[in-house]
Structure 1
């Protein structure tokens, strides 16, 4: 346990502290020091693909599968799976935390981190597409960081990737992912049971039984996960977006002042003078980076499954996913909070703050809406991470149903336990898992990025040729 917390501090605690005027400071963790410069580098190298090719990303969501394989996923379906995990509790509790600790200005820095993260998401998803392989168990395709890390390691050793069984870094990535997703399962269970108890008075045991039973019916069937997510994700994201639009239109006169507050606090002299500008920046950056998960290696597990006719398409769709997660959904949560008089939210933290904001907008119905939204966000995240786990389990234990089923059962047990009690050790273990995934993924992402950039250049050449 001591070793685990040492790793936790190494990944998440401030590794570098930059002093700021009036006693403030800017604390930079190892993961921020890796992800932010990488995102900026990929953005420059790709010539701001997230802006230049945004219309192309939108067009791709309408494309059909490249083949007639009934078990493969279209680019849009792969995007929905990755969105299911990105659009999770971080979009609610994470944004609330960022604004609580960093003020409205944190929203601006969330947007900035999302722009940089879009380029990183393109690189890792395109590499997943380049090195995807047929899935003999579920059908269609599979892949992700464990696969392209393995290929990279084999090349360095001068070996054939098909003849080399394991790569140490790929094994460590796969194990970190499985640890992370087990931890997330418990966090999901606890968050859902708490919200159901607060909103409906439902006992945790009842929530545990119902949630675990419904999840088991879906995840233990061969390909039911994607079909369920195809329905849940568009509905939950669409409803949340629609409700936010209603709130915005009801308070349209306040909108200019909200944006003025966001930009003023992002660069404000008051924050600099008060020594809090570092908290404003870092809360926004951290929440943005770890809400959209760009660079962690999670989303490429879904990106590899996309049945598209060019690898760059899979990458561009995942870059669009970062936009949906942070620029759209996280901004919705921010608007719900910032369109409430500040004095009503003073002293509140966490979900109490968001529920109070929704109560201001819609009364008791607003509180119930947030509880149901959290349930759907969390449930879709659970289904999504178990989809991600498929390729990691296969890499570690081979292609067999016993290992696939065993991991699903483990995740279901963690979900059940999480509904009944919160174990902070398991939660921290999940954070360690995603931190290590990011480290192992980025070790290979930087040297292999030229392949993804070459794919982008080739794809843009194809677009120009068609025109």
Structure 2
């Protein structure tokens, strides 16, 4: 009965509410901000190059971006795309692109809010905390809402998703390298424990190393496949666009199935609007919230437009996928496709890529849970250490336990989190528009934008936090 109720609620939330709510609000945020994700797309590179990262040890904009990408990029980029193509055909890829492009605006809004309402960490004065629980509590003055959001984040990411990721990684290594799950599980747990006991700074540094390696490595292997099949690329792109509006008769459900599969897998993969990425966006030490909003919207682009497209091209350029024909799905489809292109090495590469994608997601998931715990404990070291030990035990336990039922429950809690977060950021869209205007005004004045925090007093932000940041940045400019 529990499984049936869980399935019903998941279908209701993901198949009947979020499937429409996310793109509609994405379009609303895109239009109301005058297409901010496109207007400032190239400015993002300047922001990262000039990322404020002083000697006191603050987390930089780039590090926060890498941690965010670590979470967005995961099994969904390998297995999720394969499922979308299997059930929705090549046209599903087009709708993944569309949902990502409008989702970039949603991510911009939620991450800018996380920056605006961030506060100092109770343990380390160089670390900041923020996210949906914080801006819901401060802006809407609804403490109970912040508590609900924190509990959902804690359960979803801290417990369920991490234990399940451990199982996926360990069983994948067992299948590819005949390595017992207890060995791979132990290795994962040790590295995971060393990382999380170092706090957000070590987590950010680990992401700074792992994410570029995994992303560039996967992009490189996709480029090899593209070069080997360069003559087929124009036709493939045309097929993706054509199938998006006129799907093959072999695809059950017609155009509706194509749109739903593309949109659903795109949402699962890039997490725009789900309320997870803002927790990481708040950590960055930047002069103005809009800066990190721009940077975080780019992580959606990296996840879907770049890395999901890599998987799609690998599959569609191979001969292992036939529309409407039952066969292998998920990771195995991607693995077989890559083997078809580059031989047996392709199968091993997918396993290693899955490990890097999965482990980076684990440390990202842990941080989201830690940030939620901080909402309750306000920097209690003992509470943090107990929680870290519990997370480590769950990782080793999950390495040899099939936790699909727990994962399904986590999908439900994440869906509830997404609905709450989307409602909150829709209510708070005006402060973000004011942030954009203030940012653009300073650019027109020929100044490097900093938050003029006295202009936002009615929004109940932490003025002391922003005063210290702006003063430090101004002092640094004076010395230079």
> How far apart, CA to CA, are the structure 1 residues paired with 2:272 and 2:247?
31
Change (3 A) 1:199 1:137: same
Count matched residues: 442
Confirm or deny: 8 A CA contact 2:6 2:409 kept in the other structure: no
Instruction: In structure 2, list runs of 5 or more residues that go unmatched.
Output: 448-480
User: How many angstroms does 1:59 deviate by?
Assistant: 1.9
> How far apart, CA to CA, are the structure 1 residues paired with 2:74 and 2:308?
10
> How far apart, CA to CA, are the structure 2 residues paired with 1:48 and 1:183?
36
Matches within 5 A, 1:44-123: 44-65=31-52, 67-70=54-57, 72-123=58-109
> How far apart, CA to CA, are the structure 2 residues paired with 1:452 and 1:49?
11
Change (3 A) 1:367 1:129: same
- 2:337 aligns with 357
User: How many angstroms does 1:322 deviate by?
Assistant: 0.5
Select 1:286's aligned residue among 251, 258, 264.
Answer: 264
- 1:392 aligns with 372
**Deviation per CA, 1:268-313, whole angstroms, max 9, x where unpaired?**
1645996421111000001111211111111111100110101100
> How far apart, CA to CA, are the structure 2 residues paired with 1:57 and 1:276?
38
User: How many angstroms does 1:426 deviate by?
Assistant: 1.0
SS of residue paired to 1:137: coil
Matches within 5 A, 1:167-186: 167-181=143-157, 182-186=159-163
User: How many angstroms does 1:400 deviate by?
Assistant: 0.5
Confirm or deny: 8 A CA contact 1:124 1:297 kept in the other structure: yes
Select 2:18's aligned residue among 27, 31, 44.
Answer: 31
Q: Which piece of structure 1 moves more, 431-440 or 227-236?
A: 431-440
User: How many angstroms does 1:211 deviate by?
Assistant: 0.9
Q: Which piece of structure 1 moves more, 424-433 or 183-192?
A: 424-433
Change (3 A) 1:313 1:58: same
> How far apart, CA to CA, are the structure 1 residues paired with 2:265 and 2:78?
11
SS of residue paired to 1:150: helix
SS of residue paired to 1:92: helix
Does residue 9 of the first structure (1) align with residue 8 of the second (2)?
Answer: yes
> How far apart, CA to CA, are the structure 2 residues paired with 1:447 and 1:257?
44
Q: Which piece of structure 1 moves more, 74-83 or 266-275?
A: 266-275
> How far apart, CA to CA, are the structure 2 residues paired with 1:276 and 1:259?
20
**Deviation per CA, 1:304-361, whole angstroms, max 9, x where unpaired?**
0110101100111111111011100111111111110256795121211111001011
> How far apart, CA to CA, are the structure 1 residues paired with 2:283 and 2:247?
48
User: How many angstroms does 1:8 deviate by?
Assistant: 5.3
User: How many angstroms does 1:130 deviate by?
Assistant: 0.4
User: How many angstroms does 1:5 deviate by?
Assistant: 5.7
- 2:166 aligns with 189
> How far apart, CA to CA, are the structure 1 residues paired with 2:376 and 2:299?
28
- 2:181 aligns with 204
Q: Which piece of structure 1 moves more, 123-132 or 145-154?
A: 145-154
SS of residue paired to 1:73: coil
User: How many angstroms does 1:117 deviate by?
Assistant: 0.6
> How far apart, CA to CA, are the structure 2 residues paired with 1:269 and 1:191?
32
Confirm or deny: 8 A CA contact 2:26 2:102 kept in the other structure: yes
Q: Which piece of structure 1 moves more, 98-107 or 266-275?
A: 266-275
Confirm or deny: 8 A CA contact 1:152 1:444 kept in the other structure: no
Change (3 A) 1:209 1:275: closer
Does residue 314 of the first structure (1) align with residue 292 of the second (2)?
Answer: yes
SS of residue paired to 2:42: helix
Confirm or deny: 8 A CA contact 1:126 1:312 kept in the other structure: yes
User: How many angstroms does 1:58 deviate by?
Assistant: 2.3
**Deviation per CA, 1:41-67, whole angstroms, max 9, x where unpaired?**
001101111222111122222122165
Change (3 A) 1:299 1:217: same
User: How many angstroms does 1:38 deviate by?
Assistant: 0.8
Change (3 A) 1:199 1:342: closer
- 1:250 aligns with 228
> How far apart, CA to CA, are the structure 2 residues paired with 1:344 and 1:414?
39
Instruction: In structure 1, list runs of 5 or more residues that go unmatched.
Output: 16-26, 157-166
> How far apart, CA to CA, are the structure 2 residues paired with 1:8 and 1:168?
27
Select 2:127's aligned residue among 136, 140, 147.
Answer: 140
Confirm or deny: 8 A CA contact 2:320 2:336 kept in the other structure: no
> How far apart, CA to CA, are the structure 2 residues paired with 1:441 and 1:351?
30
**Deviation per CA, 1:379-431, whole angstroms, max 9, x where unpaired?**
00001111222221011233201221222222222222221021222111211
> How far apart, CA to CA, are the structure 2 residues paired with 1:120 and 1:80?
19
> How far apart, CA to CA, are the structure 2 residues paired with 1:342 and 1:272?
16
Confirm or deny: 8 A CA contact 1:132 1:144 kept in the other structure: yes
> How far apart, CA to CA, are the structure 2 residues paired with 1:271 and 1:150?
50
CA RMSD of aligned residues (A): 2.0
SS of residue paired to 1:466: coil
Confirm or deny: 8 A CA contact 1:149 1:444 kept in the other structure: yes
Change (3 A) 1:254 1:215: same
User: How many angstroms does 1:183 deviate by?
Assistant: 1.0
